[in-house]
């Protein structure tokens, strides 16, 4: 079992009254550590800041969070060449009851874990995805944010633990594809790239943002656009993004099949040139 750290000390436990435990009243970030550096740190901090604003939690200063991640890597002897760090920020230990004022003294935990890059074949041939039955609730007040309320992802991902797909695609009740259980999804149609809006549900991944901004900076149009299940089989290519593995082609979802096409390969090449080493093939 991995250790957790707080204020530079190993902490195996949290107060049972912590609002993170009681209500999922908190946020987290899972950060790729590559060659000693947190990747896309500013994007993680941006999303965490947005989450703290919605949840009315005083966000710990970036410097404190940077130091906490480095300390967790160091104290846990986690290799910094290729690993993953997790930051948890909760509203802290408070009185019983849902309501509260500003959480001035959040609980802040840091974890560091060894990691391995996914196999080269996944990037070359694409991954197999499940189509999850669990639907994402529509118009969640925390849509897009990485809160500790993650039951939808737990339920969706648990659907295919036994069958072993790498990822599963999730829909809302309207059959619109929203994202993967741990990734965001992109579609290629007639050489045009799109990804669903996360304004109503889902998690707005930092790698999704990096993909969109990097492609747009290169003059490659990338649309925020819903795609319905009935149209999914007709898209030309599908790929997913995630902070840890970057971008990976999807070769199938349920009975739908897609080739690993030139657009996806081009996106991966661009990402590889922009700090996402996993996409270098």
CB of 16 to its own copies, least distance (A): 4
Q: Which residues on neighbouring strands pair with residue 18, listed in sequence order? A: 93
Q: How far, CA to CA in Å, does 85 sit from each of 30, 141, 218?
A: 6, 27, 30
- Cβ of residue 7: shortest distance to its own copies, in angstroms? 13
Q: Using CA atoms, how far apart are residues 122 and 124, in angstroms rounded to an integer?
A: 5
Q: Least distance (Å) from its own copies to the CB of residue 89?
A: 12
C-beta separation of 242 from 115 below 8 A: no
91 versus 268: smaller Cβ distance to its own copies: 91
Supply the minimum distance, in Å, between the C-beta of residue 210 and its own copies. Answer: 22
> Of 194 and 244, which CB lies nearer to its own copies in the complex structure?
244
Angle between helices 41-55 and 206-217 (to 10 degrees): 130
Residue 160 vs 187, nearer CB to its own copies: 160
CA distances from 201 to 174, 178, 185, 210, 244 (A): 12, 7, 14, 20, 21
| Identity of the residue, 77 or 163, whose beta carbon is nearer to its own copies in the bound complex | 163
Rama region for 162: left / alpha / beta (φ>0; ψ in -120 to 50; rest): alpha
Interface residues with its own copies (CB under 8 A) are 1-2, 4, 11-25, 28, 54-56, 88, 91, 93, 96-101, 109, 111, 113, 134-135, 137-143, 147-158, 160-162, 172-173, 181-182, 201
**Closest CB 21 distance from its own copies, rounded Å:** 5
Distance CA 231, CA 175 (A): 10
Distance of closest approach, residue 156 Cβ to its own copies, in angstroms = 8
- In this complex, which beta carbon is closest to its own copies, that of residue 11 or of residue 217? 11
> Is 166 or 186 the residue whose CB approaches its own copies more closely?
166
Closest CA to 248 of 271, 231, 227: 271
């Amino acid at each position: 079992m991995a250790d957790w750290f707080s204020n530079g000390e190993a902490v195996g436990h949290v107060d049972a009254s912590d609002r993170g435990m009681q209500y999922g009243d908190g946020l987290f970030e899972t950060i790729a550590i590559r060659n000693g550096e947190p990747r896309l740190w500013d994007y993680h901090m941006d999303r965490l800041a947005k989450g703290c604003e919605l949840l009315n939690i005083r966000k710990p200063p970036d410097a404190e969070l940077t130091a906490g991640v480095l300390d967790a890597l160091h104290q846990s002897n986690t290799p910094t060449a290729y690993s993953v760090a997790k930051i948890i920020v909760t509203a802290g230990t408070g009185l019983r009851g849902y309501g509260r004022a500003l959480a001035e003294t959040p609980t802040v935990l840091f974890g560091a874990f060894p990691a391995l890059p996914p196999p080269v074949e996944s990037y070359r041939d694409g991954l197999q995805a499940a189509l999850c039955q669990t639907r994402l609730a529509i118009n969640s007040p925390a849509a897009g944010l990485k809160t500790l309320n993650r039951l939808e992802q737990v339920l969706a991902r648990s659907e295919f633990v036994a069958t072993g797909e790498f990822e599963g695609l999730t829909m809302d009740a309207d059959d619109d594809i929203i994202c993967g259980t741990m990734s965001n999804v992109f579609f290629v149609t007639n050489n045009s790239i799109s990804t669903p809006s996360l304004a109503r549900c889902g998690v707005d991944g930092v790698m999704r943002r990096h993909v969109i901004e990097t492609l747009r900076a290169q003059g490659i149009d990338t649309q925020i656009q819903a795609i319905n299940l009935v149209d999914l089989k007709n898209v030309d290519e599908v790929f997913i993004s995630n902070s840890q593995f970057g971008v990976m082609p999807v070769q199938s979802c349920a009975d739908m099949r897609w080739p690993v096409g030139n657009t996806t390969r081009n996106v991966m090449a661009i990402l590889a040139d922009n700090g996402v080493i996993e996409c270098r093939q």
